[in-house]
Copies of this chain bind each other. A is one copy, B any other.
Amino acid sequence: MASIEETKTHNNNNKRTTQGRQKIEIKKLEKKSNKQVTFSKRRSGLFKKAAELSVLCGSEVAVIVFSPNGKLFTFGNPSVDDVVSSYLNNGAVAVPSSSSGNGNSTSNLVNAMIELEEAEKKKKQVVRQATLGSILENNNNINAWLEKPVEEMGYEECDHQLTKLISLRNKISEASSSKDFDVPMTKTTPFCGLGLNF
């Protein structure tokens, strides 16, 4: 440590001190080291922005990022799984509920609009369900979990496996609520290690 008075960066001879932030083009970074550093910084920035949004507006936010090396990073408020669950359930229509009054009391136009709206919801629901089914089907963990393809199960074994799953879920729910993958938002600890304190 030499003279601390020099608030400027070490201007050894006469050369450039930090030229500050430079404008960059938004295109794939080629230099690997640079890409890694940029990823780290911008991921932090993104998570901070997400945290601020969720706090300011009291809205649920989840961010899922895979690094260039394939490592998983997440941010979620209240938790990634909660938000993802809400996302997967979005557009849900609990019961057909096609009852209710006939179309007399309202105009055909209004009814048409309502039907259109519900059709779109239904479409969303179907796509969501298909996605969920795809996830389920493509996840060979489920097969391992069930220890046997569903096709080979009769009623009793199916029932047995389901009971096992439910009890497993209940057992795990505590561990799950300990948020191994998400940093919980508290008022007493730094938020996500990003220097945000609430």
Contact = CB atoms under 8 A, between A and B. Distances in A.
Nearest to A43: B53
B64 A62 contact: yes
Interface stretch (A13-21, A106-114, A137-145): A137-145
Please tell me how many copies of the chain the complex holds.
2
Most buried by B among A52, A64, A140, A155: A64
A141 B129 contact: yes
Contacts of A57: 28-29, 35, 38-39, 42, 67-68
Contacts of A124: 180-181
Contacts of A130: 168-169, 172-173, 176
A126 B85 CA distance: 17
Contacts of A81: 131
Contact of A65 (B55, B61, B134, B138): B61
A189 to B, nearest CB: 15
A4 interface: no
A57 B46 CA distance: 13
B159 A151 contact: yes
A150 interface: yes
Interface residues of A, number: 89
Contact of A127 (B26, B87, B135, B180): B180
A103 interface: no
B56 A28 contact: yes
B60 A49 contact: no
A85 B135 contact: yes
A1 interface: no
B74 A87 contact: yes
A61 B59 contact: no
Interface string A70-98: 00101000001101111111101111100
